[in-house]
């Protein structure tokens, strides 16, 4: 392998690592949402099913960001950028 090939593969690995960092945001957001939902259920136990449903829908939407980051990382690692 020459320098250009190694450079491109190295940049792909660095990009994959940076893409995985995208999972931090959804993790923090989901933790905050779960905390607020627990607080809301504690204040109004009768609305538990409504609060839980809304929280789960919001967490599913937030998780897509982390999944997109994981998908990009997997593409960068496993798809050969120099295949001809």
* Residue 42 is assigned to a structural domain of this protein: yes
E strand segments, 1-84: none
Reply yes or no on whether the pLDDT at 4 is more than 90: no
* Residue 38 is assigned to a structural domain of this protein: yes
* Residue 67 is assigned to a structural domain of this protein: yes
* Residue 57 is assigned to a structural domain of this protein: yes
Distance CA 33, CA 23 (A): 16
**Average confidence (pLDDT) over 34-53:** 94
User: What pLDDT score does 23 carry?
Assistant: 87
DSSP 1: -
* Residue 55 is assigned to a structural domain of this protein: yes
User: What pLDDT score does 8 carry?
Assistant: 86
* Residue 31 is assigned to a structural domain of this protein: yes
* Residue 84 is assigned to a structural domain of this protein: no
How much of the chain, in percent, has pLDDT values that exceed 70? 94
Domain of residue 13 covers: 3-75
What's the distance, Cα to Cα, between the start and end of the chain in Å?
15
User: How many domains would you assign to the chain?
Assistant: 1
pTM listed for this prediction: 0.74
Reply yes or no on whether the pLDDT at 42 is more than 90: yes
Q: In this structure, what are the phi and psi dihedrals at residue 82, rounded to the nearest 5 degrees?
A: -110, 10
Q: Using an 8 Å Cβ cutoff, are 65 and 26 in contact?
A: yes
* Residue 81 is assigned to a structural domain of this protein: no
């Amino acid at each position: 392998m020459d320098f250009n090939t190694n450079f491109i593969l190295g940049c792909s690995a660095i990009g994959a690592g940076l893409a995985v960092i995208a999972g931090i945001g959804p993790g923090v957001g989901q933790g905050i949402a779960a905390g607020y939902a627990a607080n809301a259920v504690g204040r109004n136990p009768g609305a538990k099913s409504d609060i839980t449903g809304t929280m789960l829908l919001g967490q599913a939407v937030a998780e897509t960001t982390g999944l997109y980051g994981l998908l990009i990382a997997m593409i960068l690692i496993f798809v050969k950028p120099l295949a001809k």
